[in-house]
Amino acid sequence: MKKSIIFCIMICFYTNIYAQFNIENALLSFDKKTLEAANTAKSVSYLVDDEKKLIFYGNLARLNPALFLEKIVIPYTQNDESEYVTSLKDDLKKMSPIHPHIPYKPLAEAAKFHAEDMGKAGNIGHTSTDGTSFGNRLKKYVKMSGMAENCSYGKEKPIDILMQLLIDEGVANKGHRISILSPNY
């Protein structure tokens, strides 16, 4: 009997530690209209599926920050009480719904160039391997102002990439979070 109880406790402990956040379950909480509005990249041929999902998840945060907080951020960060997670939760609580991001092919091309450049060299950051800054690099692709760049390293799943950028741990100005959640972008 004692062994059975210990085994049961061990199984419960094991499943709680390794229980993973399930984005598909979280998406069930969003209404059809919001899901459709967030899916601005669905018909874009120049992005791969994971890039489309990243835009989609980010747009859910923009379109319904309160529900995104409740159904995605809180469950995803349930064991993380860092100041970065706390400030993300505070930002989403204060945020009003805003327009979704819309993919733009020249920006996707600039991002692809930078990702390949950094990947080949094994570098990270916003400066190209030849020393070109983000702003100067983008001038080759677009004639716009008020742009930002979000670089993520070490994550593979779109939801993990988005959460890394939103939490923005170690980034004093929260620049990645701001560019994802600000109506100015």
Statement: residue 125 has pLDDT above 70: no
This prediction's pTM: 0.81
Percent of all residues in the chain with a pLDDT value above 90, rounded to a whole number: 55
Instruction: Answer whether 41's CB lies under 8 Å from 52's CB.
Output: yes
Mean pLDDT of the chain: 84
User: Residue 131 phi/psi, 5° resolution?
Assistant: 90, 0
Confidence of residue 118 (pLDDT cuts 50, 70, 90): low
Please state, in angstroms and rounded to a whole number, the distance separating the CA atoms of residues 62 and 185.
11
